[in-house]
Amino acid sequence: MNLKRCFNALLGLGVVVSFISCQSKGTPNENMTTREVSVHQVDIGEGISTNTYSASIEGTTNVEIRPQISGYLSKIFVDEGAYVKAGQSLFKIDDSPFLEQYNTAKAAVEVAVANLKNIKIDLDRKVELVENKIVSDLQVTQATASYDAAHASLAQAQAAMNAAKINLDFCLIKAPVSGFIGRLPYRLGSLVSPSTAEPLTLLTDINEVYAYFSMSESAFVNFQEQRSANTAMDSVTLILSNGKTYYHKGVIDAIAGQFDKNTGSIAIRAKFSNPERKLRAGNTGRIEIAQKIEDVLLVPIKSTLAIQDKIYVYKLSNESKVEQVEVEVVGKTTEDYYVRSGVQKGETVLNGGLGFFRPGMVVNAKQQ
């Protein structure tokens, strides 16, 4: 009796398993549910694309302050980071030896002047005597030559005095331009000379600054094409290192004459006004250049999928199957990508929810 019950139980279990197995089998189309999805039709339009380039900031004038003479620093009138005006005193080299040289040269000039006067008196007297036939013409010629030599000696002494005065003036080093003082590597008592490797300091004029950046060859060709037709292309925006936009617009004022063979890029310089002196030499940032794009394909950003550094869309074939294709993006707005290739005008792409779909799936398109 127990054996019969066990047999019946096993038979029933086999029927259930067989039924479940039959229910699980079938064609893929019978088991898959066609998903309804919103789609977007690709169209052609125009817009503004913003390209960004890394930039470094430099002052319009960077002057190395170097001594013109050798000597010991006796005074330092400024501190690191101070703002100075053109003509302001910066350093002083001990001028004692140069002052003595100047005094000696000045005394030599006075001697030469006195000597010239004596010789001039002698020449005038002989000129009078030769008229009265008291002295010969030869003596007058000799006196004239002595006078010329004395005159030359005076000029030589004056040149030596002027040179000594220049060296004396070099003892006081002044700012050639207005700007900010850099690091001061030397202290009072340091021996400096024109041959010293490191300058006394670096003086930077930052009332205006330069932003240097590089552009690839293809980007530069596009930039030049639009620049020739629109001078506003020279206007650029500076994004500071903290992500904020600098409140003064810049203008491109110089482009290198050739591309760098190693990097394949060309150097470009933009000038920015810096009246508040917010920017300093050595700052970094990003240059943004807006370019107008015409006859470009518009694809909603929500219709795209980013995989590593590539952008993809899911477009529908004639059989309503999902196909994954890569697109070339040349710019964007807050809502759309500007696409150059990968899709064509009039093609249909999935409009969001891309994570739920796979290539080859059949969907029910719902036009948005």
- Report the pLDDT value the prediction gives residue 26, as an integer from 0 to 100: 42
Q: pTM for this structure?
A: 0.60
Mean local confidence (pLDDT), 50-54: 88
Whether residue 20 is predicted with pLDDT greater than 60 in this model: the reply is no
pLDDT band at 25 (very low <50, low <70, confident <90, very high): very low
Mean pLDDT computed over 29-49: 69
Ranked by mean pLDDT, which of 17-31, 45-59, 116-130 comes out on top?
A: 45-59
3-state secondary structure of 310: strand
Most confident listed range (39-53, 217-231, 264-278, 342-356): 264-278
Top-ranked range on mean pLDDT: pick from 47-56, 230-239, 242-251, 326-335 = 242-251
Span 122-129, average pLDDT: 74
pLDDT of residue 133: 67
pLDDT bracket for residue 15 (50, 70, 90): very low
Question: Is residue 315 exposed (0-12), middle (13-18) or buried (19+ Cβ within 10 Å)?
Answer: buried
Concatenate the DSSP letters of all residues of 112-163 into one string: HHHHHHHHHHHHHHHHHHHHTTSS-HHHHHHHHHHHHHHHHHHHHHHHHHHH
Among residues 295, 357, 349, 361, the alpha carbon closest in space to that of 325 is found at 349
Q: Are β-strands 363-367 and 35-41 bridged in parallel, bridged antiparallel, or unpaired?
A: parallel
Q: Which residues pair with 297 in a beta bridge?
A: 44, 339
So what's the pLDDT on residue 34?
Answer: 65
175-210: pLDDT as tens digits: 998 889 999 999 999 999 999 889 999 998 888 999
The whole-number pLDDT of residue 31 equals: 40
**Model confidence band, residue 322 (pLDDT cutoffs 50, 70, 90):** confident
Is the pLDDT reported for residue 27 higher than 80? Answer: no
Residue 92, both tokens: 């002083």
Q: How confident is the model at residue 17 (pLDDT cuts 50, 70, 90)?
A: very low
Per-residue confidence (pLDDT) for residue 2, from 0 to 100? 47
pLDDT in tens, 205-246: 888 999 999 999 888 887 887 776 555 557 899 999 999 999
